[in-house]
């Protein structure tokens, strides 16, 4: 069994905590001005942290979309391999059998070739449909970025 340590205080980057005055007497005459400066520093740090997390979200969404594209390309490549290798020999055998049945081998070869092209077109269209369904825009990030100015103003 794996032991999980409880989260320690201060590990949450989204929580702003006031900085303790280590000197003790400095800043007392300024009316707490140092605390405002420290809070502004923390606010700037939180802003950069937010920007980093937004960038990480964009990367994750693009990674997810590229996985869908890879699957579609794999499907199209599979269609090409099947169309070129195994079907070539099988289709020639079917063409000869059909040619013997209708006593016209060239016509049978043409018919089998046209049927093969129709099958290849259907396989290609299935792959193209999968590719068109891939979502390439990071929609969640766009929604968050649109809400960010409202959040800063407190207008959520």
pLDDT 10s digits, 9-68: 555 555 555 555 544 444 444 444 568 888 888 888 888 888 888 888 888 888 888 888
Q: How far apart are CA 84 and CA 117, in angstroms?
A: 11
Query: pLDDT band at residue 107, thresholds of 50, 70 and 90?
Result: very high
| 95-to-5, 81, 101, 109 alpha-carbon distances in Å | 70, 20, 10, 5
Q: How high is the pLDDT of residue 25? A: 46
Specify the pTM: 0.37
Q: How far apart are CA 26 and CA 35, in angstroms?
A: 11
Residue % of the chain over a pLDDT of 70: 69
Query: In the chain, where does DSSP find H-type helix?
Result: 33-84, 86-102, 105-132, 139-153
Mean per-residue pLDDT, 77-93: 83
């Amino acid at each position: 069994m794996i032991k999980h340590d409880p989260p320690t205080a201060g590990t949450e980057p989204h929580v702003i905590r006031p900085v303790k005055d280590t000197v003790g007497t400095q800043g007392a005459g300024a009316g707490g001005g140092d605390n405002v400066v420290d809070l502004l520093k923390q606010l700037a740090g939180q802003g950069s942290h937010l920007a980093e997390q937004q960038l990480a979200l964009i990367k994750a969404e693009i990674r997810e979309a590229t996985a869908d594209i890879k699957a579609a390309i794999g499907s199209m490549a599979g269609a090409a391999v099947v169309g070129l290798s195994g079907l070539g020999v099988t289709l020639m055998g079917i063409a000869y059998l059909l040619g013997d049945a209708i006593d016209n081998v060239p016509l049978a070869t043409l018919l089998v070739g046209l049927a093969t092209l129709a099958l290849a077109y259907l396989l290609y269209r299935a792959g193209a449909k999968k590719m068109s369904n891939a979502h390439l825009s990071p929609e969640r990030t766009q929604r968050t970025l649109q809400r960010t100015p409202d959040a800063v103003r407190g207008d959520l």
